[in-house]
Amino acid sequence: GAGVSQSPSNKVTEKGKDVELRCDPISGHTALYWYRQRLGQGLEFLIYFQGNSAPDKSGLPSDRFSAERTGESVSTLTIQRTQQEDSAVYLCASMGQGRTPLHFGNGTRLTVT
Amino acid sequence: EDKVVQSPLSLVVHEGDTVTLNCSYEVTNFRSLLWYKQEKKAPTFLFMLTSSGIEKKSGRLSSILDKKELFSILNITATQTGDSAIYLCANAGGTSYGKLTFGQGTILTVHP
């Protein structure tokens, strides 16, 4: 595909349920990032994967958040026992080699009721 | 803690006006300063700045970085309604060029 693909585009869930968000990066991009954007705010870094290295999880807000990546392809972000403050747009981005900019997907809008 | 602050938070202009958006940063490690445009969904890349004083241009948009005073500006001349968007400034200062600290964004509205 031409760009970063995320699914679902929208997700409404009840408080306390688990959700999984999916990201397909641009083919050949070795680095993959997850960001969160709350309403009216800038993007907050959550986690990134670079090749086979251990992921940088320093932005994950709590142990309810986790992410996995299979090789250099698909990644899933899992939020367990969702809370209302988890409501946000979750954006995935990938990056090629060297000093190149991030390419973002369209995001998943998560609403926790 | 790294910090990026944008001003103004919102701006309303008419077509044809010129606008200047501001971004200041305080970071422990600087790699580059980036500008993104966000319309409805995915932020799209505009500029990456690494050196002071060198203006980058793309059509009616231009940007410059001052590493001594720790700020950047984004200029848009002859604005059009299609320029209406959120403009995001971000610093790449961590262990990766993609690990960005974003400002809160400037919401630009261009009226016909």
The 3-state secondary structure of A90-102 reads EEEEEECCCCCCC
- Preceding omega of A25 cis (within 30 degrees of 0): no
Cβ atoms of B3 and B99 within 8 Å: the answer is: no
Q: How confident is the model at residue A33 (pLDDT cuts 50, 70, 90)?
A: very high
- Mean pLDDT throughout B13-18? 98
Tell me how close the Cα of B18 comes to any Cα of chain A, in angstroms. Answer: 24
Residues of A in contact with B48 (CB under 8 A): 99, 101
Q: Given a cut of 60, is residue A1 above it in pLDDT? A: no
pLDDT band at B39 (very low <50, low <70, confident <90, very high): very high
Q: What angle do CA B89, B91, B94 make, to 5 degrees?
A: 155
User: What is the average pLDDT score of chain B?
Assistant: 93
> Is residue A94 over pLDDT 70?
yes
Picking from B95, B102, B106, B107 by the largest number of A CB atoms within 10 A of its own CB, the best residue to mutate is: B102
From the list B108, B67, B107, B57, the residue with the least C-alpha distance to B91 is B67
Q: List, as ranges, residues 52-91 from B with C-beta within 8 Å of A.
A: 88, 90
Closest CA to A89 of A29, A36, A25: A36
Query: Residue A45: which of B45, B99, B105 has the nearest Cβ?
Result: B99
Interval B87-102 mean pLDDT? 88
At B11, is the secondary structure helix, strand, or coil? strand
Span B12-41, average pLDDT: 93
Q: CB A44: neighbour CB atoms within 10 A?
A: 17
pLDDT at B94: 73
Q: B104 in contact with A at a CB cutoff of 8 Å?
A: yes
User: Tokens 């059509």 sit at which residue?
Assistant: B59
Q: Do A50 and B96 touch (CB under 8 A)?
A: yes
- Is the Cβ pair A91, B105 closer than 8 Å? no
The alpha carbon of residue B19 is apart from the nearest alpha carbon of chain A, in Å, by 20
Residue with tokens 């001003």, as numbered in its chain:
B7
Q: φ, ψ for residue B14 (rounded to 5)?
A: -110, 155
Higher pLDDT residue, B90 or A41?
Answer: B90
Whether residue A45 and residue B32 make contact (CB cut-off 8 A), yes or no, is no
Q: Is the pLDDT of residue B87 over 80?
A: yes
Report percent pLDDT > 90 for chain B. 75
